[in-house]
Structure 1
Amino acid sequence: MGKSRNQNNVIITGTTGMVGEGVLIRCLNSTEIDSVLVINRKPCGYTHPKLKEIIHLDFFNFAPIEAELSGYNACFFCLGITSVGADDDTYYKMTYTLTMHIAETLSKLNKDMTFCYVSGGGTNADGRLKWQKVKGKTENDLMKLPFEQVFNFRPGFIKPIKEQRYAHKFYKYINWMFPIGRAISPNGFCTMTELGDAMINTLSHNNERRVLEGKDIIALATEPA
């Protein structure tokens, strides 16, 4: 059974990237979200009555901004780098170390928080590839933190929202593939709208720790409020 909340105050990271921007758009448009805090190294370029932005350069040290991070009941963590071209140490630091520092800080400050982590399709702590193992370890260790809820999202191909500014340019050339891919492999294809709405809908759940593959994301996005 779902639970009611008086307010849904959300922190979003990575809003200068495609996934974070898409989640931000869905949150700003949602009547279920009351306020949004975004934390970036540079301005995201969005303004809205319920949006606040903190510019903070060192994501490995959130101590200077801790006083501004209390009173939130969700974090939608959309920050990350690709493993392509990154050496092992850099990828581990930017994927595991950075994520865990932020998550540990937020779990200490907000005991009732839901933490949604954008991982990726194919993540596997026992996988063959380095990125699979690093993201899998990140997922597993997030589950151990004292959050009220943790959801690890594993999207594959994501179709961006039309008005997004930070979607990769190549998407406009390959979006025609989406309906074909969805029909052949629905677990590997979701829309940015579905991903954002699924995150928002986690807030009507209670005390869960789950890994969400593509089909799970789609189902959660269409779940009745």
Structure 2
Amino acid sequence: MKTALVFGSSGLVGGHLVNELIMNSNYSKIKIFVRSKIELINPKIEIIDTNFNDLEKHRNDITGEDCFFCIGTTRKNSPNKNEYERIELNIPRQIAQIAKSNSIKSFFFVSSGYADPKSSGDYLKFKGLVEQEIKNQNFDKIGIMRPSFLLGNRKEKRIGEKFGIILFQLLTPILVGPLRKMRPIRAEIVAKAMVKLANENINQSIFESNEIAELVR
């Protein structure tokens, strides 16, 4: 039986991920790292009140087998450039480093389509830099998920993203060949794919949106 670690359990993918882990018999414990109190009652769950400004304080908590990282923000929610960089870049990199030093075997990360450490835009650049860090840590298994637009019921409204989702849903029939990775994907599919990847021998580490969908077919 394994212990899973979840960062970002209140997000669109993270919420589905926790449910998948609860239902999966391979896990006896699910550590959920949160910055504010949440109501999640299940015998498998251990909620860890986390100071994300001092992750070293939680080094002894970041132990187990499979680490899942689903934290993300937007410019609207984090308009301060330094805070945005801390959430999108510094926190996931530090967690990956601590996880590796604590001999965690697997690390799974919700990135983005077209993530690139050399991108001119901060969002895609930071995602690419985190991917690079995860790969450099040489975990036994990694899963980098690069979804296109995520479908699901978000707690906050993202008007620009909503418009993009509608547009790409309309365009889906013609998104073929190399463009298939631009197809929108449901958040629960991403969560299912991450758990499947953690528990099966799949010889691939980076998954574009269409490849994530194919994992759970």
Normalising by structure 2, what TM-score?
0.82
Distance, in Å, in 2 between the alignment partners of 1:187 and 1:15 is 25
- Cα deviation code 1:181-205 (max 9, x no counterpart): 5434453311122111110111234
Q: Secondary structure at the match of 2:116?
A: coil
CA distance 1:109–1:208, shift in 2 (3 Å): farther
Q: Secondary structure at the match of 2:33?
A: strand
Q: Secondary structure at the match of 1:11?
A: strand
1:4 match: none
1:66 match: 59
Distance, in Å, in 1 between the alignment partners of 2:171 and 2:39 is 32
How much has 1:169 moved relative to structure 2?
5.4
Q: Secondary structure at the match of 1:34?
A: strand
2:18 match: 24
2:211 match: 216
- Of 130, 155, 172, 2:147 maps to 155
Unaligned runs of 5+ in 2: none
Query: How do 1:30-49 residues align onto structure 2 when only pairs under 5 Å count?
Result: 30-49=24-43
Q: How many residues align structurally?
A: 208
Residue 173 (structure 2) pairs with residue 183 (structure 1): yes
1:3 match: none
How much has 1:133 moved relative to structure 2?
1.4
Q: Which moved more, 1:73-82 or 1:187-196?
A: 187-196
Q: Secondary structure at the match of 1:127?
A: coil
CA distance 1:214–1:136, shift in 2 (3 Å): same
How much has 1:177 moved relative to structure 2?
7.3
Q: Secondary structure at the match of 1:67?
A: coil
Query: How do 1:72-221 residues align onto structure 2 when only pairs under 5 Å count?
Result: 72-84=64-76, 86-111=79-104, 113-160=105-152, 167-168=155-156, 180=170, 182-185=172-175, 186-188=180-182, 189-206=184-201, 210-221=205-216
Q: Secondary structure at the match of 1:68?
A: coil
Q: Secondary structure at the match of 1:193?
A: helix
1:52 match: 46
CA distance 1:74–1:187, shift in 2 (3 Å): same
How much has 1:110 moved relative to structure 2?
2.4
Distance, in Å, in 2 between the alignment partners of 1:209 and 1:92 is 28
Unaligned runs of 5+ in 1: 1-6
- Cα deviation code 1:190-223 (max 9, x no counterpart): 112211111011123459662211011111223x
| C-alpha contact 2:13 2:188 (8 A) present in aligned 1 | no
- Cα deviation code 1:120-163 (max 9, x no counterpart): 12312222322211211111111101321222111122222xxx
Percent of residue pairs identical: 19
